[in-house]
Structure 1
């Protein structure tokens, strides 16, 4: 058997899941200080059941859970799984591999598992104890454990050997048996008390049973007498009932005959009533028909009058509005006037245009004159340059002009097309921009409303959750309070003695209630009041009777029952008295007590001499001042002259009653609070629902707005892009057109100039200087025509203003003419409708006249029918009156007979009731039915009077016996059976106690044998191990009490070489460590364990001693697995597996492993 693996999850510094694959031999765990090596040892101890936080180097058990480091958050649980190879069957379980898991949560909850199944800590400890692994964990030697071994008491050292010897489970069995023995002794004492108490109760109950037996005999006589009297009464009443039944049956037959006759006449009356009803219906129908025809005649007459009026009203009316043709004529005249004005404007414009042309001609003439003068000057020069070159230039310029002109025309057409496209895109852009503005205006505030709605939903839901949590808390508080009240009320139920008194009071017919229902305290003096009242506070009863005999009866019942004590309080006829003086310190306790009127007298008597003080010192002062007084403190300490009482055995009924009242008030308040919380919760839930609906609506509107806005923005962006592109193209085309036109003008000027030069060259024969007279005359003429142009512009402006003022008149007249034409058309339609209505009214008038004649004929027939039906109705009415008289006479006779029958039936019912009462009385008192009473045989000479006299004598004899417990016989038998049963149980418990003593003795023998064998082996091994670690030294183990091997401790004696000391406290640190190791190794050799864990046990050793210890490790390796936490290189050299433990800046431990080839210690 050896440890196969160890998995840590969230244990201390192992935040991540880490698995150590362990192997047989020596497993060395190395790493820098603080990296988490010792946490591996703690994990092994923890998973094997260690429950001491101090042993695990923590303040509380929750410290084993990873607490967080760096960016790693704290974890909620720690889990360690230890896998053990059980191939050799060392563990008493049918598995070759056993996994033990322990899991702990942050809230303190723990779980244990064995091979994945839930287990208890005890199961794990018992599983491992057979392998020598117990709660002392001697196989795990942690830091500081060596010093603990030497510094521990001798009895504690004994535990290491017991654990290795497997004594732990036997000692646990012994402890369990001892606990049972202690508990059994308590039960045994209780049984002794019960049997003694039952034995005391058997004597009085036997006397009550004897009285009950005598009473039973007398009661049997009384019962027999009562049965005979009851049978006689029932038989007598039965005869009376038979006679009354005969009379009732005869009266019933007479009533039945009259009823038959009455039914016959009633049927005839019913038929007559039906005929009368039919005649009435026919008369009513005829009358109703006559009324309807009269109403129709009136309506027809009214229709006739209305039709005549309508025919008169719908005469044709002539049109009186203005004539549209006259309006159109006036509009034409206005148009002619407008035409004349427009002609004047055109003439003025034409004159201005002709003058402008003349101005242009004069300007052209002046320019030409100037140009001719310049050309004449240039012509002379051109001749000199040569006519041939001038002609060539003119031809070239003409061709260039044709090309430029075509280019300018194409550029102009391109500009027109691009301008049209730009206008279309601009219109589309304007529409898209308007649409975007409309969408933006419609979405103003939607985002804010959505955010506000979502916040309101969150607030409403938060409020609802808070109210729901508060409601649950209130419900839990109410449930807790009601459970507390129920428990307290259960404790307030009458004790045995009080219950006896209550039953006795009920038998005496006296009202009795608990004292706690009559008194309350103020200012927290309930404990003090309970302490002063004493027995009265626990079993106090108040009777509502001043008669001493009632109280005496209750006291007698309490004494006879012998089931406990009770205090009986009764009201006093005299006025309660109080001490006149005030106490030296404090106040009267009565001033802090409120009680009912019934209990005021006895409470006053009980508390009249009691002073309420704040402390024991004040109480002693009060008693010393007046020894007649008693004093009590709020904590229930009572002081008197020469005595004092203290202590508290729990809440008394007085305190409990006040607690119950206060708690019930609290429950009522909480229930009101719960109702308010429920109403608030309903409102909050409704509000939350409304808010969610509003939020959903707002979100939908906001999403719709955002989608519309995105679409509008995309359309605007796309249109704007198209507009920019079209505008750029247009600008480039305009620039190209302007350039082409400019070039065209330049080329045209060049062609004209060259043509003029050519003509000049052709016309000029000789060179002469040009004249300026023509140029000056052209300039003078230009100035004159420009003055005429200004006058024409003024005349045109005046004509345009007159034409504009007259232009709207013709249009207004045309609109008025159209309106009048529409009005005349509507008038003509109305006239046609009037004519149609007049024709219709005349037709209705004719039809109404014909209908009136027919209605008059029908009305006459209806009047005749009405007269006939009324006469028939009167005849049937007379017949029904006669039938009613007959029915009334029979009904009166039936009433008289019914009264007679009713009287007979009442007599029979009375007899029946008397019998039922007698039978019910017999059933309740005697338990006999009517059949049993009628079957009872009475003597022939039975005398009821004499029998009643005998009954009175028997009842008097029964009363002379006094009050008898009717259940005494049964109670005596039950009590006797219970006594015998408890006696048998007592004998069984005594036998069980003897059996437990035997078990404890057997366990002691087993422990003694196991410990003795283990002690002898360890005692023999220790000197050899000590000699190995201390060559030349000597050491031994000594029992502190060899005579008592069950409890003896173990002392360690050690003498290193060259020293004569034996006291362990005088050894050096290294020597102490080696001595402790010697003891542990001796135990290991004597009782090998499957594995051992050493946590830096060689830290204080030098190299020589370290080599010696390693030699022991190598010896132990042959039989056991060693897990060694070390910093020493020699120890690492002999290891079979090396585990490196590291911790980075995140505070999480990580492990790497390396299989080694161990070196020898030599």
Structure 2
């Protein structure tokens, strides 16, 4: 694995897209050509160190101090007098991964980082968006990372001498290849702390929930009991209501059937009564329309009247004949007739005949207008009676008889003929009377039969009407009874709808008999129980189940968290063992190499690494977040966090450096000169690189403080180490430049933009010309 090239655009002074290709280490895949050290040179301020910053930034560096800035947007080209500022910056590292040191199935891996001026950023691996943690993990597994000595910036080499023992240990741990174990351990510790915090919060929540849960449990039990009572009440109500509804329906059907039967019977009886009424009306009409008897009676009366008249006329004719005879004998004109019995009878007879006529006229009257004539006729009869009464009072009546005898004879003859006619008429009239009386007798018999049938029909009609009235009474009673049943049924339906929220027709009766009084008593008791239970929110059971479920969940979570704490402690213990074992092995070898390189660089003297006990390091997140310390002792249970406090207070091993150049006795690093400090830090850097050669190393002016002799020694060591490690060196030192196979020159024009010029030194001749 090695760094093939770097592409930069918009990063600091590299406003334009710039590509730097690097040579691999000479032992990579056994190749000897096209390998070696790459050097980047240029005047101060040209931007050559920005290349190292871009590589570090693309590897995930978050500290703006290490990137020589104050805020994130400082890495974006800020513009110049001739070019406007840019809105984004990006850098891409291309790695040759043919040895699969990076655990990806790609022969080339490109890691990119982009930053926009609005603060948004993104990381990409082979053009796929990933997280920062993914980039860090991937590089850590490959043995490189933003905190390793793959990129050594200005002043960073001397910082190892100024670092604390714990920080030096961290540097050696990176060199020992325990970074991935450290990451796992730190994550496990963070998870352990987070798990303990979660366990504490879960415990607090459980304590908070328990009283509420107990109250809810009581209410839920009460509500459950109410629910059971309500269910039992509902079942009994359904049983009672279905029984009553079925009973009312059956009663309704029976009463309705009875009503219908009575209605049918009543209709039949009504038809019979109507039929009898029709027959009776017909018979009555027959009786009324049968005027034959009346006509016969009238005919008889008329005949008798005619007979009387004929007899009167006969008597009158006989009398007149006698009178004519006497008149002829007396020959007197005026004759005084005494008012005797005969005279009175004749006058009364006339009055009687007039009365019969009056009666007949009264019987035959059809219009009120005829009454006036009848009244005048009655007055005439009254006047005649009055005259008779007056004549009787006077005792005699004078009659004018002024007629001749001849006229008398004629009248006598005429009267004789008339008498004969009257005799014939009287005989005929008597015959007619006899015949009429016979017909009347027959008609009377016929009328008698008709009346008997009429009376029989009346009796039958009476009986039938009586039966009809009885049917009507029963029918009305059935209607009333049916109406009562329907009213009760309607009340029951309303009660069912009110109590059960159901329609009565939806109830199904199972047909089993039940004791209504007993059921009603049980229902009343259940209602009393419901009232005693009182109104409880029906959602209380759901709330109890929800809170209980949450309590069980938190309890289970607490158990799981306790198990997780145990597992995390095991992981931490395992990582500590791996780190300790690997670190101890690396420490011995690095210490040996450090002594060796120190003696080579200084030409003698002695230097070694010393283990020192120090307080256990805090997690980086804790160190960066002061609120962690402030809240550590305020919100934690001492018993719960005792093990965590002990783990933090536990001592660990730090690294001290002891260095003594030849001919000097130095007991403290602060007594070293600047050049000696630089040489010491370079010796330690080379020792680390020789123990665990990184795939590549970027050194930014680490040899700036060396003189010419030490620069030559630095160059020889660098050339030796370049067989296993790819070196990219940013330098001003000529001796270092001579060791390079590829040289990049960085310049900056008036536009403030860095530009590159590259040359392979094997292409330059002895006189400085380019070989063809």
Band the TM-score falls in, shorter-chain normalisation? 0.5 to 0.7
**Aligned-pair CA distance for 1:5:** 1.4
Quickly say closer, same or farther: Cα 1:95–1:1030, change in 2 above 3 A: same
Matches of residues 406-421 of structure 1 in structure 2 within 5 Å? none
Tell me how far 1:1083 sits from its aligned partner. Answer: 0.6
Superposition map of 1:665-684 within 5 A: none
Equivalent residue in structure 2 for 1:998, among 570, 589, 593: 570
Answer yes or no: is the 8 Å Cα contact 1:1141–1:1151 preserved in 2.
yes
Q: CA deviation at 1:1023?
A: 0.7
For 1:1019, which of 591, 595, 598 is the aligned residue? Answer: 591
What is the CA distance between 1:1024 and its match in structure 2?
Answer: 0.6
- TM-superposed CA distance for 1:1133, in Å, is 1.6
In structure 2, the partner of 1:99 is 110
Q: Measure how far apart 1:223 and its partner are.
A: 5.4
Alignment-derived partner of residue 1104 in structure 1 = 709
Q: Which residue of 2 aligns with 1:157?
A: 168
Counterpart Cα distance in 2 of 1:1012 and 1:989: 34
CA distance in 2, matches of 1:1144, 1:906: 119
**CA 1:236 to 1:147, structure 2 compared with 1: closer, same or farther past 3 Å?**
same
1:86 and 1:214 map into 2 onto residues whose CA distance is 72
Higher share in helix: 1
Distance 1:973 1:60 in 2: 52
Q: How do 1:176-325 and structure 2 match up within 5 A? A: 176-193=187-204, 226-227=237-238, 230-231=241-242, 233-235=244-246, 237-238=248-249
What does residue 5 of structure 1 align with?
Answer: 5
Distance in 1 of aligned mates of 2:101 and 2:243: 94
Shift of 1:955: 4.5
SS in 1 for 2:584: helix
Structure 1 residues 1000 and 247, CA gap change in structure 2 (3 angstroms): same
Matched residue, 1:85: 96
CA RMSD of aligned residues (A): 4.3
Question: SS at 1:1040's partner residue?
Answer: strand
Retained in 1: the 8 A contact 2:56–2:146?
no
Distance 1:1100 1:110 in 2: 37
Aligned to 2:605: 1033
Partner of 2:339: none
Change (3 A) 1:1046 1:1139: farther
Which residue does 2:60 correspond to in 1? 49
In the alignment, is the contact (CA less than 8 A) between 1:1053 and 1:1062 conserved in 2?
yes
Q: In the superposition, relative to structure 1, how do residues 1152 and 251 fare at CA in structure 2: closer, same or farther (>3 Å)?
A: farther
- Identify if the C-alpha distance between structure 1 residues 1118 and 248 changes in structure 2 by more than 3 Å, giving closer, same or farther: same
2:745 counterpart SS class: strand
Residue 251 of structure 1 and its aligned partner are, at CA, apart by: 14
Taking the TM superposition and a 5 Å limit, the aligned residue runs for 1:499-518 are: none
Structure 1 17/250 Cα, relative in aligned 2: closer, same or farther at 3 Å? farther
- Shifted more, 973-982 versus 1047-1056: the winner is 973-982
Question: Which whole-Å deviations, capped at 9, do the CAs of 1:853-902 have from their partners, x for residues lacking one?
Answer: xxxxxxxxxxxxxxxxxxxxxxxxxxxxxxxxxxxxxxxxxxxxxxxxxx
Find the aligned partners of 1:36 and 1:213 in 2 and give their Cα distance.
79
Q: Is the 8 A contact 2:236 2:523 kept in 1?
A: yes
CA-CA distance at 1:38 after TM superposition: 0.9
1:1145 maps to what in 2?
750
Q: Deviations over 1:313-335 (max 9, x none)?
A: xxxxxxxxxxxxxxxxxxxxxxx
Q: Select which of 1043, 1068, 1089 maps to 2:673.
A: 1068
CA change 1:969–1:58 in 2 (3 A) is closer
Counterpart residue number, 1:1085: 690
Inter-partner Cα distance in structure 2 for 1:207 and 1:137: 63
Task: Tell me by how many angstroms 1:938 deviates.
Answer: 7.2
Q: Deviations over 1:1012-1041 (max 9, x none)?
A: 222111111111111111112211111112
Q: Assess if the C-alpha contact under 8 Å between 1:3 and 1:22 holds in 2.
A: yes
- SS at 1:143 equivalent: coil
Provide the rounded CA distance (Å) in 2 between the counterparts of 1:1158 and 1:1106: 24
Structure 2 residue 729 is the aligned partner of structure 1 residue 1155: no
Task: Give the aligned partner of residue 836 of structure 1.
Answer: none
> In 2, Cα distance between the equivalents of 1:1103 and 1:1153?
25
Cα deviation for residue 985 of structure 1 reads 4.4
Is this contact kept in 2: 1:143–1:1095, CA < 8 A?
Answer: yes
Distance 1:131 1:911 in 2: 95
CA distance in structure 2 between the aligned counterparts of 1:1071 and 1:186, rounded to whole angstroms: 49
Give the equivalent residue in structure 1 for 2:496: 922
TM-score relative to the length of structure 1: 0.40
DSSP 3-state at the match of 1:1047: strand
Distance in 2 (alpha carbons) for counterparts of 1:213 and 1:1099: 85
Report the equivalent of 1:872: none
Distance 1:971 1:118 in 2: 44
Instruction: For 1:222 and 1:204, locate their aligned partners in 2 and report how far apart those are by CA, in whole Å.
Output: 26
Separation of aligned partners in 1, 2:64 and 2:600: 36
**TM-score (structure 2 length as normaliser):** 0.58
* Kept after mapping to 2: 8 A contact 1:83/1:97: yes
Matches of 2:514 and 2:157 in 1, distance apart?
112
Q: CA distance change for structure 1 residues 176 and 233 in 2, over 3 Å: closer, same or farther?
A: same
Check the 8 A contact 1:133/1:164 in 2, yes or no: no
What is the total number of aligned residue pairs between the two structures? 512
